[in-house]
Amino acid sequence: MSFTDLNLNQFLLNALNEMGFTTPTPIQKKAFSVIMSSKDVVGIAQTGTGKTFAYLLPILRQLKYSEQKHPRVLIVVPTRELVVQVVKDIESLTPYINVRFAGVYGGTNLNKQKQLVYQGQDIIVATPGRLLDLALDGILKLKQIQKLVIDEVDEMMNLGFRAQLITLLDLLPKKRQNILFSATLTKEVNELLHDFFKSPTKIEIAASGSPLDTIYQLAYPVPNFYTKVNFLIHLLQDKDTFKKVLVFVKNKKQANILFEELENATPRIADVIHSNKTQNYRLRSVKNFEMGFFNVLIATDIIARGLDLTNVSHVINFDIPQEPENYIHRIGRTGRAEQEGNAISFFTEEEAEYLAEIEILMNKEINVSDLPNNIEISSKLIDEEMPKITPEIIGKNTTITEPSGPAFHEKKEKNKKVNLGGSYRREIAKKYKKPKTRGQKRK
């Protein structure tokens, strides 16, 4: 099937042709007629499968010219980066269509965005917080909304937007089409569907939580943060293999430390983006990464959803996320549009359980290899890795530390068993064994 087989007008076909797109992805093929029928829709497909065009194409096909001031289509996404990306996609699809659209998000001048909305728009793309600011202020009127799209809804739940979403759904007209797209279908998402959707049609390209088949996954046991740094530097020396690398780190502090270490080892190879960076800085960093000015981008999960990157050769999980769904979103940055991709994960002894939970979600095993012998094992620890020391309490009442009295006795041999946590824990221990230390070495 090609795009010409869909019920698209010539204006959209011309735009797709100019972008070099001729064949719809599976989610685009399946979603088109269902969304065109005006039924509520739930689309489940992995990141990188063309979900944005899957809802934009039928919406733009049905959107008729109007001079009314209030928007008719509302698209809600979790991050500022994703707002920018969706607006860019609408712009690329509408060079021959007279449609007004705008993106609004936090962290920018509220008055300028009020003026943008007040001018009159057909489509508004927004993050939940800024959307409610404009709606509750009376600038953004929601009474004419005909179609609501909630994209990456599972990530919105992870970021704590559940209350804002429910408030928004209560403000919207009851008679509307609801379109929800997500890579995973969590318990919270199901609750949202039950409360606010009307018998939605479910479109599932792959089982919720399954990775793209085009991504090769590999994991290495690594004892600590700075040994992970040493291993990453070692991998990145092979520039022919690691051409365009996205490195995920769990928080801003560790992202900054890793960036400094890479900058010291191999200057101007990497950049870093997280929520403390300004919007302009983040957009510029992504653009420079896309243009090949540097080949490594360090990022945190909070901005991962808005990264629409092409030809990423490797995703490296510098740590393992506690939420298994976040792993799916991370590795979905590579192997996009049916291209082959690679995902490499570093895990400590504490993170082994997270990796096992990811396998359960995916229903697929991840290959595990030992750390190469030439990687230097660091004895240097970050604050989070330092052993926890419980301060000794000194007071009048002293604690008896030596056994005394007839009440004390040794346990019988049969009662000295250790609780291993069941077969599940034992299986984890077998596969994700403690990383080799090979002795303590200086960094």
Read off the pLDDT of residues 355-385 as tens digits, 9 standing for 90 and up.
999 998 888 889 999 999 999 999 999 988 8
* CATH number for region 215-384: 3.40.50.300
Confidence of residue 277 (pLDDT cuts 50, 70, 90): confident
- The pair phi, psi for residue 228, each rounded to 5°, is -60, -40
What is the predicted pLDDT for the residue at 395?
54
> Per-residue pLDDT for 172 more than 60?
yes
- Dist. CA 318–CA 212, nearest whole Å: 20
Contact indicator for 119, 70 with CB cutoff of 8 Å? no
Mean per-residue pLDDT for 281-307?
84
Domain borders along the chain are 3-204, 215-384
CATH architecture assigned to 3-204 = 3-Layer(aba) Sandwich (3.40)
- Dist. CA 286–CA 80, nearest whole Å: 13
> Per-residue pLDDT for 401 more than 60?
no
> Per-residue pLDDT for 303 more than 70?
no
What is the predicted pLDDT for the residue at 415?
42
H-assigned helices in 245-341: 252-265, 279-291, 324-331
pLDDT tens across 311-338, in order?
899 999 999 998 888 888 888 888 876 6
Supply angle C-alpha 185, 176, 183, rounded to 5. 15
The mean predicted confidence, pLDDT, of the chain is 85
Domain pair 3-204 / 215-384, same fold: yes
> Per-residue pLDDT for 301 more than 90?
no
- The pair phi, psi for residue 179, each rounded to 5°, is -125, 120
CA atoms within 13 A on the CB side of 308: 17
pTM of the predicted structure, to 2 decimals: 0.68
